[in-house]
A = this chain, B = another copy of it.
Amino acid sequence: MSALSLAPRALYEEVAELLRQRIFSRELEPGSWIDELKIAEEYGISRTPLREALKVLAAEGLVTMKVRRGAYVTEVSDKDLADVYHLLALLESDAAGVVAQRASDAELAELQGLHAELEAAADDRNRFFALNERFHMRLLEIASNRWREQMVADLRKVMKLNRHNSLFKTGRIDESLAEHRAIMTALLARNAALTQQRMHEHFQNGLEAAT
């Protein structure tokens, strides 16, 4: 195996990613303090890069820093989840509208391709969710607003703090597919307002299915 990568990340980035995984897997659970010494020893590193990683995670909202107390995994209330989901719906609906009016034909075709894959994966939960994620992310990329991409990425990380993570994992594949189909139709018609509205409904339904 080779750990070689074209863009070698700094150690603090590496550590941040490892901690993210442990937080998402709830090995580090919300509300629990992060023992710098313990983690540093586990990874065989010093505390300096670890502390830098914690600052990054704090900026993402995954951990909260208390002066002279250290960092603990952020606890997200039900209201927090609702608030974050509300913003995701807002940002992604807007992105969808932008794509409808500004994407190239090739890009729309690409999204159509991803949607086709999604349709074909209706019987494979894991594959479906992975493709669904790719579709949403690709749409965001095509909307080409790096600040929105960053915000959505951060918000999605916060959503993953939730135990159930139900907002994305609802077993409503058929309904979701139907909604995606409606979105694609509006997209291909280049009807921005309708695309936006349907994406918003898509999120709205996701929320209702979760509550």
A52-B55, A55-B55 known; A83 and B148 CB under 8 Å? yes
A94: chain B residues within 8 A (beta carbon): 90
Judged by a CB distance under 8 angstroms, whether A125 is at the interface is: no
Count of chain copies: 2
Q: Pick out which of these stretches binds chain B: A7-15, A103-111, A187-195.
A: A7-15
Query: A17 at the A/B interface (Cβ < 8 Å)?
Result: no
Residues of B within 8 A of A84 (CB): 147
Q: Number of contacting residues on A, CB 8 A?
A: 33
On whether the beta carbons of A146 and B52 are closer than 8 Å, the reply is no
Q: Is the CB of A80 within 8 A of B147?
A: yes
B67 & A9 in contact (Cβ 8 Å cutoff): yes
B83 & A146 in contact (Cβ 8 Å cutoff): yes
| Interface residues in A84-137 (C-beta closer than 8 Å to B) | 84, 86-87, 90-91, 94
Q: A179 within 8 Å of B by Cβ?
A: no
Main secondary structure on chain A at its contact with chain B? Answer: helix
Minimum CB–CB distance from A130 to chain B (whole Å) comes to: 26
A176 CA / B56 CA spacing, docked (Å) = 38
Given that A51-B52, A87-B145, A148-B87 are contacting pairs, would A8 and B67 also be in contact in the complex, using a CB cutoff of 8 Å? yes
Asked if A18 lies at the interface with its beta carbon under 8 angstroms from chain B, I say no
Q: A7-B67, A10-B67, A147-B155 are in contact. List 20 more A-B contacts (CB 8 A).
A: A8-B67, A51-B52, A52-B52, A52-B55, A55-B55, A55-B59, A56-B58, A59-B59, A61-B150, A80-B146, A80-B147, A83-B145, A83-B146, A86-B145, A87-B147, A87-B148, A87-B151, A90-B91, A147-B158, A151-B151
Pull 17 A–B residue pairs with CB atoms less than 8 Å apart, ordered by A: A8-B67, A9-B67, A10-B65, A10-B67, A52-B52, A56-B58, A59-B60, A83-B145, A83-B146, A83-B147, A84-B147, A86-B145, A87-B147, A87-B148, A90-B90, A90-B94, A147-B155
